[in-house]
Amino acid sequence: MDLTFHCPHCQQELMVDAGAAGQAIQCPTCNTEITVPVPDITNIHTHNPIHDSAAARVEHHFVVPVHEGPAEVLIVKPITEEVVAVEGPKKIKVRIFRHTDCVEVGHDRYEEFVAAFLNKIGEENIINLTALNYTHIDIATQKILTDYAIQVIYRG
């Protein structure tokens, strides 16, 4: 936060960091050593009309960016996602869908998952599809089972 006050010698309006309150500084205009006043909000508001309007102006100056800030962030978010999607040259990525990972409570959604993914990346970005077999231990039966997976190499 900045502190605005007037030099008691030359009346130059000076703006300093609030942390400098109470410290001695040299006025850049008249070179007189002056003490930065400690802010007293009640004093500013009951002092003279010039100070009142100055305070109002300063307050207005602060209020505008504060209100714009969060609004900007809200607008920026979707733009950022768009930028990410369009960003630079696409990288080659690999995704492996294991059949067992796509079975939810006995409901086999493997084809649905793979199809949704392929549609999402788009046909033109698919470089290679490879069928794989893998073994895993079935928790229920404690048997080693062979299952299938698909490896997708794509640009994304």
Of 30 and 56, the one with the shorter C-beta distance to Zn ion is 30
In the list 3, 6, 10, 55, the residue contacting Zn ion (rule: CB under 5 A) is 10
Give the C-alpha distances (Å, rounded to integers) separating 122 from 9, 46, 82: 72, 67, 17
Binding piece for Zn ion, criterion CB under 5 A, among 6-14, 48-56, 89-97, 105-113: 6-14
Would you list the DSSP string of 94-136?
A: EEEEEGGGGEETTEE-HHHHHHHHHHHH-GGGEEEEEEEEEEE
In the complex, the smallest distance separating the C-beta of residue 34 from Zn ion, rounded to whole angstroms, is 7
How far is Cα 81 from Cα 128, in angstroms, rounded to an integer? 27
Q: Which is nearer to Zn ion, 31 or 80 (CB)?
A: 31
**Shorter beta-carbon distance to Zn ion: residue 28 or 122:** 28
Residue of the chain from 23, 26, 29, 128 that contacts Zn ion (CB under 5 A): 29
First vs last C-alpha separation in the chain: 45
Helices (H), the chain: 41-46, 49-86, 110-121
Would you say 6 or 155 has its CB closer to Zn ion? 6
Stretch that binds Zn ion, among 25-33, 50-58, 107-115, 136-144 (CB under 5 A): 25-33
Q: Rule CB under 5 A: say whether 9 interacts with Zn ion.
A: yes
In sequence order, the 6+-apart residues with CB closer than 8 A to the CB of 65 are none
Which of 20-28, 40-48, 89-97, 117-125 is the region at the interface with Zn ion (rule: CB under 5 A)? Answer: 20-28
Give the HSE-up count for residue 51: Cα atoms under 13 Å, Cβ half-sphere: 15
- Residue ranges in contact with Zn ion by CB under 5 A: 7, 9-10, 12, 27, 29-30
